[in-house]
Chain A
């Protein structure tokens, strides 16, 4: 996108999730350095360097050429700084998609999830509602009411997660707001699932991972979401509006469960609220559209 006027590094220092030995998952990879592939990384670890700090302390013994060593050290120095400052975008930019689960793991407790519904798939379709799970609450935004408030919320978000957002939700919202990029970093969960051999749409993956939605939302899909919107718009059908927001919010909640399940398969244990508590948020979201 042209013009870097909007692009100051967005730094959000804060708590990080540490696993093995008080280390984040990020600090245990070298794959984001130039010239380091899985083979090289295996060699480095075999030589007794399990994490960044160990390499930076004693770079002389690395099984690498001089150039690769120096660029590795430079990258790791930058990485440490980024980790400290909370420059999440740095890791999204440098880590291959396949390894970005490490970012999700490191910042799991600070993830926000979002999903949008639209008025259809034609060229003149517009966003009808947006749901976002942020810091334990579900926020919903409706076209013509408070859609701009979502942009304000994004200023507080550390890392945004969506399903298929990189192709759909994010570009759609950028067009809606007429901005070149979001104020926060974003990771598309669909591709994380893909790399962990979970293919298909969100609902299919939910099935594979045995995540169940509340009964009343079984079988609701995107097409019904469009219909529900027009019921609300044209006939002021309050029930249709509630069902739509509930459906949108449910998508967002399952995202959290899918992320947790994914990380669990990668041996990263994270804490998620009990399913019942999560679904209870749906009812809470019904009565107000903003936390």
Chain B
């Protein structure tokens, strides 16, 4: 308990100025309850022998509905014994059942499911029941697969495997398992949202359809982390009513939540910027490691994890074995090793992406660092909840980044404790997604004239389209799959691509990345970091799906600059907001990385550019365009025509960062841009575009279109309250990215145009108030910058002379001998 105080004290001393808030999250003693009545006496003995004499109240609460085969969702918090919550009633029934039924356990990823297997196995073994259990995923060897499908009662799997491995073989290999399927347990159900969630909803529709054919009616038992609408979410996912259990009887230790904001500094006189979280987290991680305080640090991006790791161990080699990075893109064996070391306590500190946010048992940790806001409050609390061992105080340190929501949190620290948890939602009726799953369903069994699980216009329309292009052909009042390939193979549940680009150094594969990420981070000459080693990309071959890299030693990292071309191909809905035209419809996006910037580590200076020659990446999606009202545009034009574009760029920046929190999408799932819109024949005007980055659209832009006043209100508030004088990356930067018009740039540089114009547009859209922007050229006095160390000329000269002298002396010695 006193151990973690050391970190708290260090924080309070070193970063007094940066600490904006210190919340105390109260401890809770927990609520216990006795064993439920229906629990088999043998099982009670087993639990008692393991030292469990009573259960948490929520575990008991879950027992009844599950035992009665009601579809149930448990809203669970970390370390609340959720596995036992759902296993208890299921195993109890299994013990009492006349013949063994089967259970499917679903985890969102392979990694999670592998981790749970041993834990589950132990729980079941200790229950003394002879249970045949197996994990069925991409890593399961062929012989194992046959054995599991024939004999296992409990099968652990993930949605991708269910989709492409199990369902297509439902009749040949899984008939016995499916015909006695009684429970489907779904862990971390909140992860099934957005586009991924819509896909998974359809996979489960196919599963239920096939179960019905084999004569089973399984019950769903779901476990969800904190989400604003747990019941609504699972009911949308599975299209049935659920019973919800959302109390939490587990005890919680006292936790300290510190909220820090790094200071604003100037670099080389011009741009104002805020120091990154690393300026605080590096020292904090080192200090905690020194005091042997077990730490987890969550970063926002994989390469950020790498850079932070490298910075932490730089000139501290003793930390190399105590601190490690973790992320997707590492090889599977690398990840297993790290997970094991962490769980067993061999590792002190782990720097990670949100890959470790969920489920995997990572042992007891005491300090959690959040490097930037994870994007949603659900993730925030999930990540913060990863620390806190029984009886020991824990410390959570949130360090804000230079982004609007991050900054809002430190300016309104009470907000975090009241912040509404985002709602999760998805659209199982997304026609693009349905159309991908119908061929799979037809492959499994021809689509009948009346499919109980496929009702509604989206289904009928999708079938029509598939009939027309002869993917489906009629066969005796049904529709059969008429192509010769394996439809499940072409459907990727998690996005637009289903393969990885392998990263080779020499002949060895050192990592992997999805093709879109590869376009953005592995182009020729890009810098790629892996477990602390820096590589430069020599060549990216998207056709062969490989990238060759070589080790380098440089002091900069690279960032690609993308060029978007947007075209609204079809307008579906139009509305007017204070005279401004908002069109919602189908947008064609054409993206091309044109060049990259070289950015020096630690000082974030731009030290060069380079070209990128890769094919563009094109897709169709949904989104809307915002054309400001004529009246407002005219008013702006009378002063300075450039104000219009300035406002649009500013608002575009702000909305992109604010909107995702309204619809629980990822910031990567939404894109904004300023592009031309043809208002009338030959007349083009600038408009703001907002669209989904997922092909076909999944309703994010749609949601924002509906809730535009809310989103705009939030943007305005952030802009008003930012402490900067003339804009900053936290609200609207003085020069928003994407501007490539010289005249416009001239307006932006060293003025508050971006802020003022964006504000003017928002005031108009929200209140129809006309406020002419008051542009001021600012010369800002700033605090001391981070100085890159000047090379010490004197020392270098001396060094050279000494080296030369040493060579001369060496030659002399050789001569003498």
Contact = CB atoms under 8 A, between A and B. Distances in A.
A103 to B, nearest CB: 23
A177 B445 contact: no
- Greatest chain A CB density within 10 A among B215, B445, B448, B481 is at B445
Contacts of A21: none
Contacts of A3: 213, 445, 448
B540 interface: no
B475 A5 contact: no
Nearest to A179: B480
A78 interface: no
A178 B171 contact: no
Contacts of A126: 484
B591 interface: no
Given A1-B171, A2-B171, A178-B481, A183 B476 contact: yes
B175 to A, nearest CB: 8
B250 interface: no
Contacts of B477: 5-6
B213 A148 contact: no
A178 B213 contact: no
Contacts of A2: 171, 175, 210, 213-215, 445
Given A126-B484, A148-B473, A5 B478 contact: yes
Contacts of A151: 475
**Is chain A's interface secondary structure helix, strand, loop, or mixed overall?**
loop
A176 interface: yes
A6 B484 contact: no
Contact of A6 (B171, B442, B446): B446
A126 B213 CA distance: 28
Interface string B766-805: 0000000000000000000000000000000000000000
B196 interface: no
Contacts, number: 39
**Is chain B's interface secondary structure helix, strand, loop, or mixed overall?**
mixed
Contact of A179 (B213, B215, B446, B484): B446
Given A1-B171, A178-B442, A178-B443, A6 B476 contact: yes
A180 interface: yes
Nearest to B451: A5
Contacts of A177: 475, 480, 482
A3 B175 CA distance: 13
A180 B482 contact: no
Contact of B475 (A1, A176, A179): A179
Interface in A25-47: none
Nearest to A3: B213
A180 B473 contact: no
Nearest to A126: B484
B445 A148 contact: no
Contacts of A1: 171
A180 B446 contact: yes
B295 to A, nearest CB: 50
B473 A176 contact: no
B484 A5 contact: no
A5 B442 CA distance: 14
Nearest to A124: B486
9 contacts: A2-B171, A2-B210, A2-B214, A2-B215, A5-B478, A126-B484, A177-B480, A178-B442, A179-B475
Interface of B: 171, 175, 210, 213-215, 442-443, 445-446, 448, 473, 475-478, 480-482, 484
Closest 5 CB pairs of A and B: A2-B213, A178-B481, A3-B213, A5-B448, A178-B480
